[in-house]
Amino acid sequence: MADRPRHPHKEIEAVVAEAERKGWRWRKMGHWGRLFCPHAGRDGCQVGVNGTPKNPEDHARQVMRAIARCPHGTEDGP
């Protein structure tokens, strides 16, 4: 987490930081990185984060939705 580069887009950076607070982990993959939910198993959720999306606001919402869909949260319970 400490070695994650800041996302160039403010809104996406905020979404990624929020995901990290919820226990998601970032890994460098693809065009910028990928977020993995707190459930580390094969059936855990993951979402790709593009470093240069055509529509950053749309992409931020997309990533936010993937995080909201995750049933494995550590804060909000099952």
Task: Give the binding site for Zn ion (CB under 5 A).
Answer: 37, 39, 45, 70, 72
**DSSP classification of residue 63:** H
Identify which of residues 64 and 70 has a Cβ nearer to Zn ion in the complex.
Answer: 70
Any residues with CB less than 8 A from the CB of 25 and at least 6 apart, and which? 1, 35, 36
Length reported for the chain:
78
In the complex, minimum distance from the CB of residue 54 to Zn ion, in angstroms, rounded to a whole number: 27
In the complex, minimum distance from the CB of residue 78 to Zn ion, in angstroms, rounded to a whole number: 11
Identify which of residues 4 and 39 has a Cβ nearer to Zn ion in the complex.
Answer: 39
Any residues with CB less than 8 A from the CB of 67 and at least 6 apart, and which? 15, 18, 19, 22, 24, 35, 37, 45, 47
In the complex, minimum distance from the CB of residue 11 to Zn ion, in angstroms, rounded to a whole number: 22
Identify which of residues 20 and 56 has a Cβ nearer to Zn ion in the complex.
Answer: 20
